[in-house]
Amino acid sequence: MQGTVKAFDAETRTGSVLLDDGTELPFDAEAFAAGGLRLLRFGQRVNLALAGDRVSAVTLSTFPLPS
């Protein structure tokens, strides 16, 4: 699944992503760490992995999702 970064807090490593249908999904520091990234910026395109209704990983659209 893909989305666009709506918000990211570098201190807490949390934020939210907008899906193409306008749905906003928050992600926590654990999901951010799972993607192996250091930083995200507003408007950046990302891939998301979901575990139930929770985002379990966030990474750049050019990177593979962790397995």
The CATH number that applies at residue 51 is: 2.40.50
| pLDDT value of residue 53 | 87
Q: Is residue 49 part of a domain?
A: yes
Number of domains in the chain: 1
Q: Are 14 and 32 in contact (CB under 8 A)?
A: yes
CA 67 – CA 54 distance, rounded (Å)? 16
Average pLDDT (52-67) is 87
Q: Is residue 21 part of a domain?
A: yes
Kindly report the average pLDDT of the chain as a whole number: 93
Q: Is residue 14 part of a domain?
A: yes
- pLDDT per residue over 33-50, tens digit each? 999 999 999 999 999 999
Q: Please report, for residues 14, 38, 39, the alpha-carbon distance to residue 49 in angstroms, rounded to integers and kept in the order given.
A: 15, 18, 18
DSSP category for residue 34: H
Q: Which residues pair with 61 in a beta bridge?
A: none
Q: Is residue 36 part of a domain?
A: yes
> Token digits for 11?
């201190």
Instruction: Output the pTM of the full model.
Output: 0.89
Q: Are 27 and 17 in contact (CB under 8 A)?
A: yes
Q: Is residue 65 part of a domain?
A: no
Domain ranges, residue 24: 2-60
- pLDDT per residue over 17-26, tens digit each? 999 999 999 9
